[in-house]
Chains A and B, each alone.
Chain A
Amino acid sequence: MTVEAIRGSSDRSVLVLTSLAGGPKHGYALIKDIEQFAGIELGAGTLYGCLSKLEASGLVEPLPSEGRRHPYRITAAGLVAIEERLSASARIARIGLQRIAAAT
């Protein structure tokens, strides 16, 4: 599984994978982390929509439940996918910022 699994998907998948790249998290911890680093508050429906898609793609996997909390972790394929996706985004951002700087 490569970046193809998240290509064309919304930024929400990228946010979830980026959050899980920092370590396993359960749903509420994911929401808090994403809010902290991206300023975006995901709802339960949106979050589990992403998690189900990413799990079906083999990019995340569930860990044993801790009471009422259900943690997930990123898989090796997920790490490759998010690294490729973020590298591409960083490249575009760098070029865009250079051009903006040149234009001003």
Chain B
Amino acid sequence: MKTTTINYLIYVLIFLAVSVPILVPLGLPLVVSKPTRDVYEAIQSLPANSVVVLDVTYDPINEVEQWPMTLALMEHLFTRPVKIVLVSLVHVGGVVYTLRALNIVDKHGKVYGQDYVYLGYFAGVEAAMSAFVSDMHTLAKTDFYGTPIDQIPMMKNIRTGKDINLFITLTTAYTSSYIGLIQAPFKMPMAIATVSVSIPEVRAYYNAGQVVGFLNGIRGAAEYEKLINRPYWGLGLMDAISVTHVILIGFVVLGNIQYFYNRRKSGGK
């Protein structure tokens, strides 16, 4: 078969594979993986009044994978008796998603300033990360809404990385920077919720114990939604993921069959 024909066939099949399961859900089963469960357990096992930092920091390109994770993680955190510090350390897009998520999630009676706070976006990526864990009060003179940080009740005792009990980041890359600048100096438990393409790198840190758990792209979002029993995009897209993966496997097999057939036809050359 000609390459262009195969390409057009691939394009049509992928379009159908993604669109049909979204319109007609197949309800395929989903097994929750250990890294996702570890993130869930890390949050679930936090004692009361623990400090959790949720760093929402991705741009619109990664919205599909990371928006459902944002909602799922925030939903779970707001059910726990913990103090939540929201921040955006890398991409300014995080501001949009943090504010949008805060408008949507059920806060379970939590009060702004006492139980959760949003410090806003800080430019500088690695410089911002380093400054955040060195002294939050120097980096963030006010919260996102302009209230001086000294006047925010919950921030009185939260100043440096030493005061953080769990750091969760929704980042797309910069894993090494988070580990090197935030996790390693303070040995704090860190969970990473990131896009699938970054997971091989995150796994190395997970296996070393530097990351307590991770969410693997849209699948991680779906697993977390299943764990907290709040279905959203993640679970909704799993059928499309399944069908697309099966088509990928099918085309790889087809490609190899064609390759061996052509080789045989040309006398093994």
Q: Do A and B come from one complex?
A: no
Residues of B within 8 A of A (CB): none
Residues of A within 8 A of B (CB): none
